Amino acid sequence: MSDKDHSSTDDPTLVRAAQRGNMAAFEELVARHRDKIYARAVSMMRNEEEAIDLSQEAWVKAWQRLKQFQGEASFGTWMTRIVINLCLDQLRKQKRQRTESIEEMNEESGGVERQMPVVTVNPTAGLERRELRQRIDQALNQLSYEHRTVLVLHQFEEMEYKQIAKTMGCSIGTVMSRLFYARRKLAALLADLKKSGER
Amino acid sequence: MDYDAQLKLQAYLDGELPEAEAREVANWLAQDREAIALFAELRNTRQALVGLEVGVTLPESREFFWSKIEREIRRQEQLGPPARSVPFFSAWRRWLVPAGAVAAAALAVLVGLSGGSGVSLVETAVADPAAFTYHDFSTGTTLVWFSYPADDELADNTPAATVQ
């Protein structure tokens, strides 16, 4: 494979070329998947600068470990797992550096979500996509990283409970509780944002 | 509605329940207004998140982003792979094990020369030349030494990021 114009080459061919040390092929893979990798990092970190740094780190790691990629999953899936793990490591480090808030402790012990009233009106109905994104971003920012991560892994990575538990190093029961809390809290926050938007 | 029932409702929404349980929840949902309301809330929240990542783009040009990656790859290649530290006991054992095997072989030869009535034998296995076996048929004793590190010393420390 030549070093130029890989735009019409499929991912598996590019991966094989990159595994043989072809950096131009790897650059094409970066160009194809960089937005998705970055978007996943943004969803998890809620910070653009950190998301850029972590997605860059993920690509460097991918190059170093490319020989380990056997093609069992798609290259895109393999890459997103790398960035997810890097984000999780970073979030855990950040958590260790700060004291848990009382709210977080409540979230972890569970139960708060059971008392939340059910949001009967869909708080996102009729919203423009941009406005909806803005509100959801605001709401996601208010969740702890554990709750947000479970939501991201389930919703965007389409992982089953079992896979999420393995990735996060917790039980399936904890995944279910966190996902339930995250959804209920998100619904409540979106309902609040809707009310404040109507005022 | 208790907490387990609430979680089961969510699992139903996510398609995580076995068929029989899913049927039970579907029947329950047809009758219970509280369950219907909660189910609708969970479904709406899930729906609101669909496509949230679509359209999110890296705010750096292709060339600039790649140049940073390439520079970092080159820098790390110049540094070379990180040196793996060998624990003191493991390093010590690496020398001790072959030395022990040699000592055992010498002992076996000495026992043989001293005219012991028992028959003993030191051998290396064809399948694994790094393993030494000592048999003492008079006492029914067999000892095996391995001159390579234990599995735990060779464990790959590759982080979970290699999950495929």
Looking at residue A19, its pLDDT comes to 96
Burial of A49 (0-12, 13-18, 19+ CB in 10 A): exposed
| Binary contact (A85, B160; C-beta < 8 A) | yes
Q: How far is B148 from chain A (nearest CA, A)?
A: 25
| Binary contact (B10, A176; C-beta < 8 A) | yes
Q: Do A52 and A139 have their domain in common? A: no
| Binary contact (B160, A114; C-beta < 8 A) | no
Write out residues 51-110 of B within 8 Å (CB-CB) of A.
Answer: 51-53, 56-60, 62, 65-66, 68-70, 72-73, 76
Looking at residue B151, its pLDDT comes to 46
pLDDT tens digits along A122-159: 777 777 778 888 888 888 999 999 999 999 999 999 99
Contacts of A73 in chain B (CB under 8 A): 164
| Binary contact (B161, A81; C-beta < 8 A) | yes
Q: How far is A99 from chain B (nearest CA, A)?
A: 26
Q: What are the b/e assignments for A65-86, b being 16+ CB within 10 Å?
A: ebeebeeeeebeebbbbbbbbb
Instruction: With respect to residue A176, please indicate whether it lies within any of the assigned structural domains.
Output: yes
A6, A34, A48, A88: best to mutate for the B interface, most B CBs within 10 A:
A34
In the predicted model, what is the mean pLDDT of residues A168-195? 91
Residue in the structure block whose two tokens are 């068929």: B19
Q: Do A54 and A134 have their domain in common? A: no
Structural domain harbouring A83: 11-96
What is the C-alpha separation between B47 and B61, in angstroms, rounded? 32
What is the C-alpha separation between A70 and B136, in angstroms, rounded? 49
In the predicted model, what is the mean pLDDT of residues B112-139? 61
Q: Is the pTM of this model over 0.80?
A: no
SS (H, E, C) chain B: CCHHHHHHHHHHHCCCCCHHHHHHHHHHHHHCHHHHHHHHHHHHHHHHCCCCCCCCCCCCCHHHHHHHHHHHHHHHHHHCCCCCCCCHHHHHHHHHHHHHHHHHHHHHHHHHHCCCCCCEEEEECCCCCCEEEEEECCCCEEEEEECCCCHHHHCCCCCHHHCC
Residue B133 sits at φ, ψ, to 5 deg, of -120, 135
Q: Do A87 and A112 have their domain in common? A: no
B80: left (phi over 0), alpha (psi -120 to 50) or beta: left
Task: Report the complex ipTM.
Answer: 0.83
Answer whether A78's CB lies under 8 Å from A37's CB. no
Q: How far is A117 from chain B (nearest CA, A)?
A: 9
B45 touches chain A (CB under 8 A): yes
pLDDT tens digits along A81-136: 999 999 999 999 988 877 555 455 555 555 666 667 787 777 777 777 788 888 88
Whether B155 has a pLDDT exceeding 50, the answer reads no
In the predicted model, what is the mean pLDDT of residues A18-42? 97
Instruction: With respect to residue A5, please indicate whether it lies within any of the assigned structural domains.
Output: no
Q: Do A27 and A106 have their domain in common? A: no
Q: How far is A35 from chain B (nearest CA, A)?
A: 5
What amino acid occupies position A20? R
Q: Do A84 and A120 have their domain in common? A: no
Whether B49 has a pLDDT exceeding 70, the answer reads yes
Q: Do A64 and A108 have their domain in common? A: no
B41 touches chain A (CB under 8 A): yes
Residue with the larger pLDDT of the pair B92 and A126: A126
Instruction: With respect to residue A150, please indicate whether it lies within any of the assigned structural domains.
Output: yes
B38 touches chain A (CB under 8 A): yes
Q: What is the CATH number of the domain that holds A151?
A: 1.10.10.10
Task: Tell me which of A66, A96, A126 is where a domain ends.
Answer: A96
Residue with the larger pLDDT of the pair A199 and B144: B144
